[in-house]
Chains A and B, each alone.
Chain A
């Protein structure tokens, strides 16, 4: 008998084992849901799949009577727009500031403690300040995402810049490169794939801040919807929404990873 650490499942077993926990969750859910619905057909806590599908069908394909919009589409677009703006602005900030801190010692001395300090502030604690300063509109939600992820991203980029071998930086100086040329032709192109990785890492955090902000003050958005229907215990909306958000998160991560492999074939290889 081989050691446990040396026993590797075959491809099919691997797939089966991976799906098994999901299958178990579905079985447990369906059984529990059926039992509750038998006792009380109006139970809201564990709605049947058909009920979820029925509700979502309305939210996806029927225009809302109140606003005349497709609710899921409208919520998704509103949320993705906020997320994209927050992440894009953070990425540009992280790229410029992270590289500047990583390359120019005088900027390191000036900015490094500040970024470190900001990244320690619990971002949710300053949400009230944002609402006071920027109002309850779009800006405060985007700013919350930026404050939440830009410092982490910047520190990440700074670390990656530091990882570029000093031999390489010395070498390009002997090839006549100025500071500006080192930044634009040596550092930035090598940091871009790492920036995409940093975005992937911080996206989970970005979603948290997005949904939190929407839960507190919004009139549309995925987080807004979930917290709105919570009052009616509408699990038939909440559960599909959570699954939909998870799927979106997965898709964004997948696309970014593909980008990295296509655009930077040299990345991650020594």
Chain B
């Protein structure tokens, strides 16, 4: 069974067509990077996978079933910005995912269960290299550390699919390098699917096991929204990825 399957997806906003004839499927353990010119609909496609957009036509499946119509803890997301909770410190930002699950009414754990959550949270913070910053608030963190925190928040839920929307687009090049290593490390240890939107081609090939190129096949110069984008290239980049390592 495929983790995600898309058959002939079409997406329209009013009378402009963003995506058409998108066919795609992926398994757990794959790392797909989406590239293409800006406005080509790759972020729209990611938002469909997240569950905040629905296709106009076509069939989208998650684990063989109809795609969920709203975000859930099966699919994690890291945005470019604003993914962390500014009123909670780092460790509380991480364990809140556990608290939501185990304390339906208060959304907060106390005593022994809280200690367990803390322990798990600390392990994940260690994995993303944030254990020393566990008592800091997000506004005291650098951009790269905020993204590490956002990744940690999602990891605690052990998602089947992790979605990344240009997560390193606002970071300095040196910091991005560190983040790439972190992602590759996490992905090699956990068997989940990753879909990442990026505008950096070398990043796409370095991280992805598959690089999917979005663009328009036909262009109407008079009326640019007449045709939508589709996946024009699906490149197996797992070899480059290994040699890069």
Contacts and interface: CB of A to CB of B under 8 A. Distances in A.
Interface of A: 165, 167-168, 170-178, 180-181, 184-186, 189-190, 264-267, 269-270
A265 B136 CA distance: 11
B52 interface: yes
Interface string B94-134: 00110111001111100000000000000000000000000
22 contacts: A167-B81, A167-B82, A168-B82, A168-B85, A172-B85, A173-B71, A174-B50, A174-B72, A174-B75, A174-B76, A175-B73, A175-B76, A175-B153, A180-B107, A181-B107, A184-B106, A184-B107, A185-B99, A189-B87, A190-B86, A266-B87, A269-B137
A22 B149 CA distance: 52
Interface centre among B71, B76, B154 (most CB of A within 10 A): B71
A149 B31 CA distance: 54
A171 B96 contact: no
For the complex of A and B, the 4 pairs showing the least CB-CB separation, nearest first, are A176-B73, A165-B82, A175-B97, A269-B139
B21 interface: no
Contacts of A171: 77, 79, 82-83, 150, 153
A176 B77 contact: no
Contacts of A177: 96, 100, 107
Interface centre among B81, B83, B104 (most CB of A within 10 A): B83
A106 to B, nearest CB: 15
Contacts of B181: none
Interface residues of B, number: 36
Contacts of A173: 70-72
B72 A266 contact: no
Contact of A175 (B106, B108, B157): B157
B70 A172 contact: no
Nearest to B165: A167
Interface centre among A171, A189, A270 (most CB of B within 10 A): A171
A180 B87 CA distance: 18
A174 B157 contact: yes
A186 to B, nearest CB: 6
Contacts of A190: 85-87
B96 A175 contact: yes
A185 B96 contact: yes
Contacts of A189: 87
A182 to B, nearest CB: 9
Contacts of A264: 87
Nearest to A171: B83
A170 B80 CA distance: 13
A137 B93 CA distance: 49
A170 B75 CA distance: 11
Interface centre among A165, A184, A190, A266 (most CB of B within 10 A): A266
Interface centre among A172, A175, A176, A184 (most CB of B within 10 A): A175
Interface centre among A176, A181, A189, A190 (most CB of B within 10 A): A176
B159 interface: yes
B119 to A, nearest CB: 18
Contacts of B97: 175-176
B179 to A, nearest CB: 18
Nearest to A185: B107
A186 B81 contact: no
A132 B101 CA distance: 52
Interface centre among B52, B72, B87, B108 (most CB of A within 10 A): B87
Contacts of B101: 176
A78 B9 CA distance: 68
Given A174-B71, A185-B96, A266-B86, 14 more contacts: A165-B81, A167-B81, A168-B82, A168-B84, A170-B79, A174-B157, A175-B76, A175-B154, A176-B100, A176-B101, A178-B100, A178-B104, A181-B107, A270-B86
Nearest to B103: A181
Interface string B151-191: 00110110100000000000000000000000000000000
